[in-house]
Chain A
Amino acid sequence: MMRPLLSSCRSVVPATALLAAVLTFTVPAAAAPVADLLELPAAVNARAIRSLQLAVTRAGERLVAVGERGTVLLSDDHGRSWRQATRVPVSIALTDVHFPTPQLGWAVGHSGVVLHTTDGGENWERQLDGKLAAQLALDDAQARAGEGGQAARRVREAESLVADGPDKPLLGVHFADAQRGWVVGAYGLALGTTDGGKSWHSLMGRIPNQRGKHLYQVHGDGDLLLVSGEQGALFRSTDGGASFAEVRTPYSGTYFGILRTRAETLMAFGLRGNAWRSTDGGVSWERVDTGQPVTIAAGHPLKDGSLLLGDESGRLLRSTDDGHSLSALAVPPAAGLTGFAQAADGALILSGPRGLTRVEPDLLVSELKK
């Protein structure tokens, strides 16, 4: 499945002959008996702690990070030192991780994989993969086939999901508690569980994501469930994921995330430095000045109630006025920032291409002079 993005590419390296050759690809029989990444347990090696990490979160006092090649890293000293998890059953890139309790956690990744741990991240088991997810989507679409409207299209889409195989990554995961959780991903892939992941159901029929836009994050806060994605996609559920409504914003680029502050202000952030806030539950939006047109990869509230955004150049932007204004922190930029979490001792743990970086708590309040 090709993204429409490509066709709008302004300049392609001239390789016409090659292009022709490649497009007439004849797929030969599988050659080398190399295990599929879904079947290959993640290797434990010294380089893992310096490898690309895509998300980091707290599991009680512990910090858990996930990244390329099925790497799961654990730290019990607030991010000063890291070690690899004992057992991860896949070697595919993991994109997001969430722990509703210190022991119970879920991670998602490419090929639609969902992993689950019951021991604080030491050992993981696979609960779901892309094949099963596609089948669930098809089952759900077929069950709703009689509902009319978009139902027929959904069935067709679900059929092509099954035909494509497990090639869609999951990009976001959130669990409200030990039982209820949601995962979202590419091409509108979205599933939920109410039994701690033992069984999953497709949410694709409940989210009004008509063009199958990529969904990057699912954020939960009490009853509220927020999903953000590409081309300005924002969806909100106030009934624990039973139904979703679209939230319209003035921006039509990708939102990599959305959060709700203590004051119940919504803040959506994403491509090219776009950050938008709404104080009226998403009816009206105002743009927040982020200073640079660099993609904002992650954002979370901190313990002190302030708000922190991190962009891909590694700049950290803090707001102490509920997201009204932002100012850059005086920390050395860690290029390629993918996410961050606040450790129990207040330090900030950044994930990125070279593993994880700890930013001491006192640096979090020192603002960069403009």
Chain B
Amino acid sequence: MSHAHALPAGAVVADVAAFDTRSGSLGERLLFNNRLVIVLLCLAATLVLGFQARGLSLNAAFEKMIPTGHPYIANFLENRKQLAGMGNTLRIAVEAKDGTIFDPDYLDTVRKINDELFLLPGVDRPYMKSLWTPAVRWTGVTEEGLDGGPVIPDDYDASPDSLEQVRRNVERSGEIGQLVAGNYKSSIVLVPLQNKVAETGERIDYTRLSARIEELRAKYESDRVGIHVTGFAKVVGDLIAGLQQVMIFFALAIGICTAVLYWYTRCLRSTLLVVLCSMVAVVWLLGLLPTLGYELDPYSVLVPFLVFAIGMSHGAQKMNGIMQDIGRGTHKLVAARYTFRRLFLAGVTALLADAVGFAVLMVIDIQVIQDLAVTASIGVAVLIFTNLVLLPILLSYTGVSPAAAERSLSAETMEANDGAHAKHPFWAFLDLFTQRKWAAIAVAAGVVMGLAGLAISFQLKIGDTAPGAPELRADSRYNRDNAFMVANYAASSDVYIVMVKTPQYACAHYDTLMSVDALERELQQLPGVEATSSLAGLAKVSHAGMNEGSLKWFEVPRSQDMLNAIITRAPRELFNQNCDLTTVYVYLKDHKADTLTSVVQTVEAFAANHGSEEIRFLNAAGNAGIEAATNIVVKKANVEMLFLVYGAVIILAFVTFRSWRAVICAVLPLMLTSVLCEALMVGLNIGVKVATLPVIALGVGIGVDYALYVMTVTLAQLKNGMSLSEAYYKALLFTGKVVVLTGITLGIAVAIWAFSPIKFQADMGILLAFMFVWNMLGALILLPALGHFLLRPKKTVAI
């Protein structure tokens, strides 16, 4: 980071023989006096890690995406084994495009799909449900009592009579709106998934599972049959499929960054070398991940982009230095050593600053974010080898093209003679901000934007704001399937589950049911709650069912004998084997933060009022319950992270500058960007969620680089007695180009994510691009303007 000593220094040594190879630090001698060994080692490492990278897998486990440390999630994980249908379930709707489900071909298709799904690894087979599973039954009332059987009778023979029988059975099965759409044009195969594949003990491979389901879709979908699939496993599968496309963007990012670099250097040879080294860094990263037991998930897959882009900008600096030395006539090997000597420490420090941004993410108790932080840290560490060591060594072999060296030299000469700053209107324009008028305008504009941004950012929402799977775009296949489910089935896709713990065998006690019923009553008052279901509700339905279906009996029976009779036929989703746990399902309109918060608060208040040793009301399971807990963690982490990342950046900046005033000049523009980023999130309707948490940390961690580049040089020149304007102009000439280059390459690399089929990657891309570019502008405009008011040569230089 400290570029103060990065000014061209060292004698021009045209002949390599005249160079004292014993000069320079131990590290430099070790590396450059054994150049070939280093290159061969790197080559070997690249080959080995490249080979290793073939073992890299893409996955996203359910547990990794949720804050496992939160008490709600702990409740969920503790009780998950005891309850069926919590969390991870696939819903596959088979649609009859013409006609109804009471059609022999349709039913046959459903049977085949049912049978194929049954055999998939990881399926919790006893709890699978469809028209063809024996657990799906009808009950009816006769003069003699209750009658019942499987919905599709054992003697089903596809005849019109037996189809009519199926229709009657469906009508009295209570599954309309659950397994069978109200319009009789589709039915669902419900596939609960295990955490691990029972046969092998391995985690479910969502990529393969999703691919198998897509095969089923391809096999059975036709003009007459439509297949709609929803569920966490499919979301993950689609995410991973979307990642394949991310690779295309990666290629695009490489192309654009290369073009920008070439435009900057006009030297093909060295441009390719920088790209090569950055690619080597990516290869190492991808090889190290499986070696260390990590895998890529939809979040950490973005790290290679960042590593590549950061590598490009650091490589550009190395190249820039070497180019200048070679331009002055120094031998390429010596130029490389000089550059290494000048910039290695600075580069390491800058990369450390980036790492701070990543490291801060470790405080977030969500494993995907922690994995992202680890992956990014590995990537940055790798860059130290590839772009700070390997690149100068490789450049010491290749040198730069004579034309580029010549160009670099003439620019330097020209700048030295350009007293009126006439040759660089852009730099001259930026220099205006060191003067009172422009500085005042810039600071005032910054304050206005900051206040406006702050006002808007109060509307910032926590959590997801869109219906369906927010990870994917609204028009994605998955979300269209989800819309189909919501339109045709009563059960909403946002399910919040409250767990109710009782003494053993008391889950169906009348008092328990009365408490559950009271909780449901309160929950049903919330505007975001569409419906609830529980053992109490079931007791009412069954009570009516046992009395010839007369709804006049729709009340929880006080007779415990009656309740005991009811629970023997209750579905296992509602209570556990020991009968010390029962659940309240709350079906929500959406999973917006407000909706979830209202449910969380209602349950907490109810638990506080009516909970006891005997009966405890626990949040929360179900996708909405997990999301509620995630929101709570994310909200807390968002604040914590801001404090940590700014604390770290301020300390880092102070260590570098040794001036509080300079720290203020460097950090205030970053804060403005953070505030504006939140305002932008409000504007783009992006909530604070797992995916956006890393953005601010990364934005600030990497964004502070610019301020560091500019401020260190400016401070050094101020120390030499220059005016702020002169010092700043000098800094612009020396590092301004690199700042702009870094801003642009990073901005482009992340802006490309905006085209990702994965919604949160697009969100991250837009926000990060905004932060990178805006931080760059802040460092170039606001920093000198603040400097005008805070940095005076005489006062501050002495500090």
Residues on A close to B: CB < 8 A? 1-13, 15, 17-19, 21-37, 43, 45-47, 52, 54, 68-69, 91-93, 95-96, 110-111, 164-167, 169, 171, 214, 216, 230-231, 252-254, 256, 271-272, 295, 297, 312, 336, 338, 353
Complex Cα–Cα for A353 and B540 (A): 13
Residues of B within 8 A of A19 (CB): 568
A15 CA to B508 CA in the complex, in Å?
Answer: 15
- Chain B positions 137 through 155: 1 when the CB is less than 8 Å from some CB of chain A, otherwise 0: 1000111111111000000
In the complex, the answer to whether B564 meets A22 with C-beta atoms within 8 Å is yes
- Chain B residues 539-560 with CB under 8 Å of chain A are 540, 546-555, 557-560
Question: A272 vs B142: C-alpha distance in the bound complex, in angstroms?
Answer: 8
Are B548 and A32 within 8 A (Cβ)? no
Give the contacts of B587-644 with A (CB-CB under 8 A): 610-615
Is the beta-carbon distance between B143 and A25 smaller than 8 angstroms?
no
Q: Which residues of B contact A7 (CB under 8 A)?
A: 145
Q: Quick check: A169 and B143 within 8 Å, CB to CB?
A: no
B residues within 8 A CB of A295? 141, 548-550
Q: Which of B154-174 contact A (CB under 8 A)?
A: none
Q: Which residue of A lies closest to B144 (CB)?
A: A8
Looking at the complex, which of B19-27, B40-48, B468-476, B514-522 is the stretch in contact with chain A?
B514-522
A47 to B526 CA separation, bound complex (whole angstroms): 10
Q: State whether the Cβ of B579 lies closer than 8 Å to any Cβ in chain A.
A: yes
Quote the shortest CB–CB distance from B503 to chain A (angstroms): 5
CB distance from B614 to the nearest CB of A (A): 3
Cβ contact within 8 Å between B551 and A52: yes
A139: shortest Cβ distance to chain B, in Å?
A: 22
Given A6-B565, A31-B502, A43-B521, verify A54-B552 contact (CB < 8 Å): yes
> Which of B143, B503, B525 lies in contact with A47, CB distance below 8 A?
B525
B484 to chain A, nearest CB (A): 23
Q: Which residue of chain B has its CB nearest to the CB of A254?
A: B548
Q: Is the CB of A216 within 8 A of B550?
A: yes
Contact with A along B235-275 (1 / 0, CB 8 A): 00000000000000000000000000000000000000000
Residue on B nearest A55 in the bound complex, by CB: B552
The complex places the Cα of A32 from the Cα of B518 at a distance, in Å, of: 10
Residues of B within 8 A of A23 (CB): 564
Taking Cβ atoms with an 8 Å cutoff, the residues of B that contact A are 135, 137, 141-149, 502-503, 505-506, 508-509, 511-512, 514-515, 518, 521, 524-525, 540, 546-555, 557-562, 564-565, 567-569, 577-579, 610-615
Most buried by B among A2, A165, A231, A353: A2
Knowing that A18-B577, A31-B506, A167-B559 touch, tell me 20 more A-B residue pairs with CB under 8 angstroms: A5-B144, A9-B146, A22-B505, A24-B505, A27-B560, A28-B509, A32-B511, A32-B614, A34-B514, A37-B514, A52-B551, A68-B554, A69-B521, A93-B554, A93-B555, A167-B557, A256-B550, A295-B549, A295-B550, A297-B551
Inter-chain CA distance A52–B611, complex, in Å, is: 28
User: Do residues B149 and A11 form an inter-chain contact, with CB atoms below 8 A?
Assistant: yes
Residues of A within 8 A of B508 (CB): 22
Nearest CB on B from A180, distance (A): 24
How many angstroms from the CA of A67 to the CA of B514 in the assembled complex?
18
Complex Cα distance, B610 from A11, in Å, reads 38
B684 to chain A, nearest CB (A): 34
Cα of A88 to Cα of B567 in the assembled complex, Å: 31
Contact indicator A271/B505 (Cβ below 8 Å)? no
Cα–Cα, bound, A22→B576 (Å): 12
| A171, B552: Cβ atoms closer than 8 Å | yes
B149–A169 contact, CB under 8 A?
A: no
Instruction: Report whether A6 and B546 are in contact in the complex, using a CB–CB cutoff of 8 Å.
Output: yes
Q: Give, as a whole number of angstroms, the nearest-CB distance from A212 to chain B.
A: 14
Residues of B contacting A231 in the complex (Cβ-Cβ under 8 angstroms): 143
Beta-carbon contact of B551 and A25 below 8 Å: no
For B552, list chain A residues within 8 Å (CB).
Answer: 54, 93, 95-96, 169, 171, 216, 338
Instruction: Name the CB-closest residue of B to A31.
Output: B614
Say whether B524 contacts A47, CB under 8 Å: yes
CA A312 – CA B547 in complex, angstroms? 14
* A residues near B561, Cβ cutoff 8 Å: 1-2
- Give complex CA distance A91, B518 in Å: 10
**Is B611's CB under 8 angstroms from A353's CB?**
no
Ordered nearest first, which 5 A-B pairs have the shortest CB separation?
Answer: A31-B614, A8-B145, A167-B558, A93-B555, A32-B515
Inter-chain CA distance A256–B561, complex, in Å, is 25
Bound-complex Cα distance A234 to B524 (A): 40
A11 touches B148 (CB 8 A): yes
Asked if A34 and B137 sit within 8 Å, CB to CB, the answer is: no
Nearest Cβ distance between residue A131 and chain B, in whole angstroms? 11
Say yes or no: A6-B145 contact (C-beta < 8 A), given A15-B568, A21-B579, A33-B610.
Answer: yes
> Which chain A residue shows the least CB distance to B576?
A18
* A332 → B minimal CB distance (Å): 14
A7 to B565, CA, bound (A): 10
Contact call A54/B505, Cβ cutoff below 8 A: no
Select A10's contact among B146, B557, B562, B568, beta carbons within 8 Å: B146
Return chain A residues, CB-CB under 8 Å to B569. Answer: 12-13, 15
Residue numbers in A under 8 Å from B547 (CB-CB): 3, 5, 214
**B142 contacts which chain A residues (CB < 8 A)?**
272
Interchain CB contact under 8 A, A18 and B558: no
Please name the residue on chain A nearest to B150 by beta carbon.
A11
Contacts of B567 in A (CB 8 A): 18, 22
Residue of A9, A26, A253 near B505 (CB, 8 A) is A26
Once the chains are docked, how many angstroms separate the CA of A105 from the CA of B551? 22
Which residues on the B side are within 8 Å of A272 (C-beta)?
141-143
Distance in angstroms between the alpha carbons of A170 and B327 in the assembled complex: 103
Are the CB atoms of B551 and A336 closer together than 8 Å?
A: yes
Which of B149, B550, B568, B611 is close to A32, meaning CB atoms less than 8 Å apart?
B611
Alpha-carbon gap, A17 to B576, bound state (A): 12
Smallest CB-CB separation from A10: which chain B residue?
B147
* B551 with A54: CB separation less than 8 A: yes
Chain B residue at minimum C-beta to C-beta distance from A336: B551
Interface centre among B135, B547, B551, B552 (most CB of A within 10 A): B552
Q: Which residues of B contact A24 (CB under 8 A)?
A: 505
User: Does A13 contact B568, Cβ atoms closer than 8 Å?
Assistant: yes
Q: List 8 A-B contacts (CB under 8 A).
A: A1-B562, A22-B579, A93-B554, A214-B547, A216-B552, A230-B548, A252-B143, A272-B142
